[in-house]
Chains A and B, each alone.
Chain A
Amino acid sequence: EPEVTQTPSHQVTQMGQEVILRCVPISNHLYFYWYRQILGQKVEFLVSFYNNEISEKSEIFDDQFSVERPDGSNFTLKIRSTKLEDSAMYFCASSERGHNNQPQHFGDGTRLSIL
């Protein structure tokens, strides 16, 4: 069964550094998402992406965050200048069609640790 893959599985970065998290969504999916989960807390929506542009974003997704689909397979999340509070699991997800009535397929996440 096709799956969403994320790399790296664990990223340790100094505060203030830039970090890029990578995802390969399922190949025939058209909608892509990033979520984060701070340890012990709920999964929180960050951003959705369709047709090479952001379709929705949450209040968490401020100017420090950006997303990109640099080629036909990868989907990336960049945090420009990391803060301690950015430490969390970051999940990428994809769905075949639009968000609300479609199951979302999640990767196993990147654990981001900011020192």
Chain B
Amino acid sequence: SQKIEQNSEALNIQEGKTATLTCNYTNYSPAYLQWYRQDPGRGPVFLLLIRENEKEKRKERLKVTFDTTLKQSLFHITASQPADSATYLCALDDDSARQLTFGSGTQLTVLP
């Protein structure tokens, strides 16, 4: 069956460190993978999109990698800040289903 797994439900790190979140998938062949941020009581906010032929994408302190052989994406936040505390969701398409499917998210807490 199809599955999207994000590494852990919760991740705590110290301010200034790099946070690394993992998204693994099985039985999908995504052409694109997206990362969103969700704050409590709010809708998801788009962060980054990476295509299957791209190994890495960066935006300011954010970096995403996409390894279609390992079926994995890594999401990094460098020089993390308490304001980065949120739940981070990975989402991918399934070209056969033509819909965006979300993982269950990783709740990141950056401690001052």
Q: Which range contains the number of B residues in contact with the other chain?
A: 20 to 34
Q: Which range contains the number of A residues in contact with the other chain?
A: 20 to 34
Binary interface profile of A, 76-115, with partner B (CB < 8 Å = 1, else 0)? 0000000000000001010000011111111111000000
B54 to chain A, nearest CB (A): 12
Pair A99/B46 contact, Cβ less than 8 Å: no
How far does the alpha carbon of A3 sit from the alpha carbon of B91 in the complex, in Å?
20
Residues of A within 8 A of B100 (CB): 33, 45, 99-100, 104
Pair B44/A43 contact, Cβ less than 8 Å: yes
Pair A56/B95 contact, Cβ less than 8 Å: no
Where the two chains meet, the residues of A that have a C-beta atom closer than 8 Å to any C-beta of B are 4, 33, 41-45, 48, 55-56, 58, 91, 93, 99-109
Name the contact of B99 in the complex, choosing from A56, A107, A109 (C-beta under 8 A).
A56
Pair A101/B99 contact, Cβ less than 8 Å: no
Does B22 lie at the interface of the complex (its beta carbon under 8 Å from any beta carbon of A)? no
Pair A105/B46 contact, Cβ less than 8 Å: yes
Residues of B within 8 A of A56 (CB): 97-99
Residues of B within 8 A of A100 (CB): 31-32, 93, 95, 98, 100
How far does the alpha carbon of A102 sit from the alpha carbon of B91 in the complex, in Å?
12
How far does the alpha carbon of A33 sit from the alpha carbon of B100 in the complex, in Å?
10
Does B86 lie at the interface of the complex (its beta carbon under 8 Å from any beta carbon of A)? no
Task: Give me 18 other A-B pairs in contact (C-beta within 8 A), A42-B103, A48-B99 excluded.
Answer: A33-B100, A42-B102, A42-B104, A43-B38, A43-B89, A56-B97, A91-B44, A99-B98, A99-B99, A99-B100, A100-B31, A100-B93, A100-B98, A101-B31, A104-B44, A104-B46, A109-B41, A109-B42
